[in-house]
């Protein structure tokens, strides 16, 4: 998902194309997820020319989809439906991670979660997880923090998620089709939603200062590889 306007980022360019250690942020995101997927579908809109040209230069199989308008993450995802015929991972193009996910169980639907501090959780969304590892509820940009678990911009879906998107009403908060509301629709129909824990670093890049955190994580990861 690379279609946003990046209004809070303070740059006229697309933040996914911002250079981090000599490469666009998006390059680091793609490199991580290449371990899990061979085919990539990019939802693009604002600043698409810069991103499309760069992505086409990479040794990956890619398709590009442009929504008619920006109507929320779930709405943007819906435009990829014709290209998807099985399980898939949805990744937000401005969300960086380093580390490993704990894939210790089979599941149909899951979301990445990471232990974090209250301010990061307030900027993203909170999750309540039961003892069985299943999500009980999610809350977009919560005012009250119930635990230290932050929902990430990484989602593990089946193709039937598009049916649940169609059942999801627009958000009362934004008027858009929010992915967290679609997750609530899943839970409302008693679909199991697994918390897939990330043991590592997670950065939802919102401001230029967040790029410093990405740089630190990359340096730390490189140092760990050299030590091993």
Question: Is 7 inside a domain boundary?
Answer: no
Report the percentage of the chain scoring pLDDT > 90: 69
pLDDT at 228 over 50: no
Output the CA–CA distances (angstroms, integers) from residue 8 to 208, 209, 221, in the order listed. 9, 11, 28
pLDDT bin (cut points 50, 70, 90) of residue 12 is low
Indicate the number of domains in the chain. Answer: 1
Residues 6 or more apart whose Cβ sits within 8 Å of residue 120: 150, 204
* Separation in Å, CA 218 to CA 29, 35, 197, 214: 12, 17, 20, 6
CA distances from residue 201 to 39, 40, 54, 79, 145 in whole angstroms, order as listed:
24, 23, 25, 30, 20
In a domain, 222, yes or no: no
Predicted confidence band at 5 (pLDDT cuts at 50, 70, 90)? low
User: Residue 75 domain-assigned?
Assistant: yes
The residue range of the domain holding 185 is 15-217
Nearest to 133 by CA among 111, 100, 161, 117: 111
Please give the pLDDT value at position 179.
Answer: 95
Residue 180's domain is classified under what CATH number?
3.90.550.10
Q: Is residue 114 part of a domain?
A: yes
Residue 148: inside a domain, yes or no? yes
Average pLDDT over residues 175-187: 95
> Confidence class of residue 13 from pLDDT cuts 50, 70 and 90?
low
> How many helices and strands (H and E) does the chain possess?
7, 11
Read off the pLDDT band of 160 (50, 70, 90).
very high
The mean pLDDT value for 96-108 works out to 94
Q: Is residue 207 a contact partner of residue 10, using CB atoms and an 8 Å limit?
A: yes
Q: What pLDDT shows up at residue 18?
A: 83
Q: What is the pTM of this model?
A: 0.91
Residue 5 lies in a domain: no
Asked if the structure places residue 225 within a domain, the reply is no
- Flag whether pLDDT at 226 surpasses 50: no
Unique residue bearing structure tokens 């992505």: 55
Nearest to 160 by CA among 132, 182, 138: 182
Q: What is the pLDDT of residues 15-64, one digit of tens each?
A: 788 888 889 999 999 999 999 998 999 999 877 888 899 999 999 999 99
Q: Mean pLDDT across the chain, nearest whole number?
A: 89
Is residue 2 in a domain?
A: no
């Amino acid at each position: 998902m690379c279609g946003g306007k990046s209004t809070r980022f303070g740059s006229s360019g697309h933040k996914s194309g911002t250079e981090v250690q000599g490469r666009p942020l998006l390059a680091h995101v793609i490199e991580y997820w290449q371990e899990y997927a061979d085919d990539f579908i990019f939802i693009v809109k604002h600043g698409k020319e810069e991103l499309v040209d760069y992505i086409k230069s990479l040794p990956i199989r890619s398709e590009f989809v442009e929504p008619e308008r920006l109507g929320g993450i779930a709405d943007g995802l819906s435009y990829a439906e014709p290209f998807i015929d099985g399980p898939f991972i949805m990744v937000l193009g401005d969300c960086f991670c380093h580390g490993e996910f704990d894939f210790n169980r089979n599941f149909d639907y899951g979301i990445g979660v990471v232990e974090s501090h209250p301010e990061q959780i307030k900027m993203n969304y909170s999750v309540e997880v039961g003892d069985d590892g299943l999500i009980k509820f999610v809350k977009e940009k919560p005012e009250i923090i119930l635990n230290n678990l932050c929902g990430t911009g990484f989602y593990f879906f089946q193709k039937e998620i598009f049916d649940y998107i169609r059942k999801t009403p627009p958000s009362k908060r934004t008027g858009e089709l929010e992915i967290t509301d679609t997750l609530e629709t899943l839970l409302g129909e008693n679909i199991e939603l697994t918390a897939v824990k990330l043991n590592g670093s997670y950065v939802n890049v919102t401001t230029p200062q967040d790029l410093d955190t990405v740089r630190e994580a990359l340096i730390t990861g490189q140092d760990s590889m050299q030590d091993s």
